[in-house]
Structure 1
Amino acid sequence: MTDIHTLVGFAGMACIIAAYAYLTWSPAPNPFVLHGTNLAGAALLTVSLLVHTNLPSLVLEGFWAAIAIYGLVKALRRKGAAR
Structure 2
Amino acid sequence: MSSLTANIVGLLGSALMVIAYAYSNVTKQMNFVLFNALNLVGAILLGASLTVHYNMASMALEFVWGGVALFGLIKAWRGR
Deviation at 1:76, TM superposition (A): 1.2
Inter-partner Cα distance in structure 2 for 1:42 and 1:14:
11
User: 1:1-80, aligned counterparts within 5 Å?
Assistant: 3-79=4-80
Normalised by the size of structure 1, how large is the TM-score? 0.91
> How high is the sequence identity, in percent, across the aligned residues?
38
| Helix, strand or coil at the partner of 2:51 | helix
Listed as ranges, the gaps of 5+ residues in structure 2 are: none
Amino acid of the residue matched to residue 29 of structure 1?
M
Task: Find runs of 4+ consecutive structure 1 residues off by over 3 angstroms.
Answer: none
Inter-partner Cα distance in structure 2 for 1:77 and 1:29:
16
Amino acid of the residue matched to residue 66 of structure 2?
A
Q: When the two structures are aligned, how many residues end up with a matched partner? A: 78
**Greater length-normalized contact order (CA 8 Å, ≥ 6 residues apart):** 2
Amino acid of the residue matched to residue 9 of structure 1?
G
Listed as ranges, the gaps of 5+ residues in structure 1 are: none
Inter-partner Cα distance in structure 2 for 1:37 and 1:52:
22
Q: Which structure has the larger Rg over C-alpha atoms? A: 1
Deviation at 1:68, TM superposition (A): 0.4
TM-superposition CA deviations, 1:42-80 (whole Å, max 9, x none) = 00000100110000000000000000000011011111x
Amino acid of the residue matched to residue 70 of structure 2?
I
